[in-house]
Amino acid sequence: LSNDKFVQGLPKIELHVHIEGTMTPELRWYLSQRHGIPLRAGSDQIPLFSEEEVRQAYKNIRGRIGAASAEGRKCFTFFEIYYGGFDLLQCEEDFFLLAVCYFERAADMNVRYCEPFFDPQGHTRRGIPFEVIMKGFKRASELAERKLNVKSKWIMCILRDSPVEDAMPTYEAMLPYRDVIVGIGLDSDELDRPPSLFHEVFKRARDDGFKITSHCDFNQKNTHEHIRQVVEELSGNGADRIDHGMNAADRPELMETIREKDIGLTLSPCGYVRHSSEEEVFSRIRKLFDAGIKITIASDDPAYMEDNWVLHALYLVKEKCNFSNSELVQLQKNAVSICWADEDFKDSFS
Ligand code: ADE
Ligand code: ZN
């Protein structure tokens, strides 16, 4: 399947990818050399001395997303490795490079439109001005559209494990750059951080005309209640999309609300199978799809998920959910329907 020509050639839309989650070992090593920043990993701050050691550290990510601590000195939680990569992004050129590297890969996979997430609080708290981040991303988006035939709009995520009081100032700091930002999301460690904590900022964002989404990761504590809050309450009358939201498949009433409100789900199967059985994962994806819920398939944090990009995620569901080629086309049609591109682009996408 790994050279499935149909999947390769399919024009794609990717709606769930964290730009900071696309930082490959090569890029991490390059940035560390460029800025003279020594690389360290994990709570023990183990030094990494080569690109190969970075690659090994990525391979040794252990534990569920949000797991409290890594087992053993050479293993790291996802969030330790992920946020460790932020420190290397120092100037506009770095944000530009990170995004361009993703867009180039997207072009190779025939991704024609994407809505990457970014986590500004992880940068502004290190003293990086918002302007530096946004100028880099904007320039990358312009280049990708002009040279790579990849269109993009950005989604700013609020870090749910940061203090709630930081959410509104972060939102307001983003407003001068809203020409490239289409939506507001909620990510990072979900444990005991329900979406309801962030009603105020999402209500404001909705009133200001932004689209709304929130992570409800697979098999998290209180996942059904978190999904319920997102579909019924977030921003007043519920969000436009859920990132993950797979556990809705366990509750007919959640599935019904999602279908009635035409809420899209962005699923990233390569992440789920690292922590859950294939049966648990693919039966739910099938069930949601067969119920007519608008699911789409994406990569999430491809650099940290054994280098599995959206193409691999599609190979995986084709094989494990037994999706036919016309069903794979339907997945892309779902993405067209739930994405936040301009209507002209949506009409022209085939
Ligand atoms: N931020 C980046 N990747 C994430 C993920 N997979 N889940 C929650 N927050 C994230
Ligand atoms: Zn995600």
Tell me the CA–centroid distance for residue 209 and ligand 1, in Å. 25
Tell me the CA–centroid distance for residue 217 and ligand 2, in Å. 8
Q: Which atom of ligand 1 is nearest to the CA of 301?
A: 3
Q: Does pLDDT of 300 surpass 60?
A: yes
Q: Does pLDDT of 219 surpass 70?
A: yes
Q: Which residues line ligand 1 (CB under 6 A)?
A: 18, 21, 65, 82, 187-188, 215, 217, 300-301
Six-digit token pair at 310?
């959206």
Ligand closest to 122 (CA) is 1
Tell me the CA–centroid distance for residue 187 and ligand 1, in Å. 6
**Closest C-alpha residue for ligand 1 atom 8:** 188
Tell me the CA–centroid distance for residue 212 and ligand 1, in Å. 16
Rounded distance between C-alpha atoms, residue 75 and residue 58, angstroms = 9
Tell me the CA–centroid distance for residue 19 and ligand 2, in Å. 10
Q: How confident is the model at residue 72 (pLDDT cuts 50, 70, 90)?
A: low
Distances (CA, A) of 247 to 25, 293, 306: 32, 13, 24
Rounded distance between C-alpha atoms, residue 153 and residue 261, angstroms = 23
The torsion of the CA quartet 8, 12, 215, 220, rounded to 10 degrees, works out to: -30
Tell me the CA–centroid distance for residue 33 and ligand 2, in Å. 28
Tell me the CA–centroid distance for residue 326 and ligand 1, in Å. 30
pLDDT tens digits, 94-151: 999 999 999 999 999 999 999 999 999 999 999 999 999 999 999 999 999 999 999 9
Could you tell me if 324 and 7 are in contact, meaning their C-beta atoms sit under 8 angstroms apart? no
**Closest C-alpha residue for ligand 1 atom 9:** 188
- Please identify which residue in the block is written with the tokens 């509104």: 168
- Which protein residues have a CB closer than 5 Å to ligand 2 (ion)? 300
Six-digit token pair at 222?
């209180």
pLDDT tens digits, 1-39: 667 999 999 999 999 999 999 999 999 999 999 999 999
Q: Which atom of ligand 1 is nearest to the CA of 217?
A: 7
Ligand closest to 244 (CA) is 2
pLDDT of residue 64: 54
Closest listed residue to residue 135, CA positions, set 89, 92, 174: 92
Rounded distance between C-alpha atoms, residue 331 and residue 294, angstroms = 8
β-sheet bridge partners, residue 15: none
pLDDT tens digits, 137-177: 999 999 999 999 999 999 999 999 999 999 999 999 999 99
pLDDT of residue 29: 97
Q: What is the DSSP letter of 265?
A: E
Q: Does pLDDT of 67 surpass 90?
A: no
Q: How confident is the model at residue 74 (pLDDT cuts 50, 70, 90)?
A: low
Could you tell me if 272 and 297 are in contact, meaning their C-beta atoms sit under 8 angstroms apart? no
Closest listed residue to residue 190, CA positions, set 64, 105, 100: 64
Q: Does pLDDT of 68 surpass 50?
A: no
Q: Does pLDDT of 335 surpass 90?
A: yes
Q: Does pLDDT of 180 surpass 90?
A: yes
3-state secondary structure of 216: strand
* Interacting residues of 216 by C-beta distance below 8 A, sequence separation 6+: 190, 195, 223, 226, 227, 230, 242, 243, 244, 245, 247
Ligand closest to 17 (CA) is 2
- Please identify which residue in the block is written with the tokens 């090593």: 29
Tell me the CA–centroid distance for residue 157 and ligand 1, in Å. 10
Q: Which atom of ligand 1 is nearest to the CA of 82?
A: 2
Q: How confident is the model at residue 70 (pLDDT cuts 50, 70, 90)?
A: very low
Ligand closest to 266 (CA) is 2
Q: Which atom of ligand 1 is nearest to the CA of 300?
A: 6
Could you tell me if 337 and 305 are in contact, meaning their C-beta atoms sit under 8 angstroms apart? no
Rounded distance between C-alpha atoms, residue 158 and residue 169, angstroms = 11
3-state secondary structure of 114: strand
Angle ∠(287,288,291) on CA atoms, nearest 5: 85
pLDDT tens digits, 237-294: 999 999 999 999 999 999 999 999 999 999 999 999 999 999 999 999 999 999 999 9
Q: What are phi and psi of 281, to 5 degrees?
A: -75, -55
**Closest C-alpha residue for ligand 1 atom 4:** 188
pLDDT of residue 62: 77
What distance separates the 2 farthest-apart alpha carbons in the chain? 54
**Closest C-alpha residue for ligand 1 atom 5:** 188
Rounded distance between C-alpha atoms, residue 196 and residue 202, angstroms = 10
Mean pLDDT of 198-205: 98
β-sheet bridge partners, residue 154: 181
Cross-sheet strand order for the sheet of 295-297: 117-118, 154-159, 181-187, 211-216, 241-244, 264-267, 295-297
* From 188, 223, 226, 230, mutation site for ligand 1 pocket: most ligand atoms within 8 A of C-beta: 188
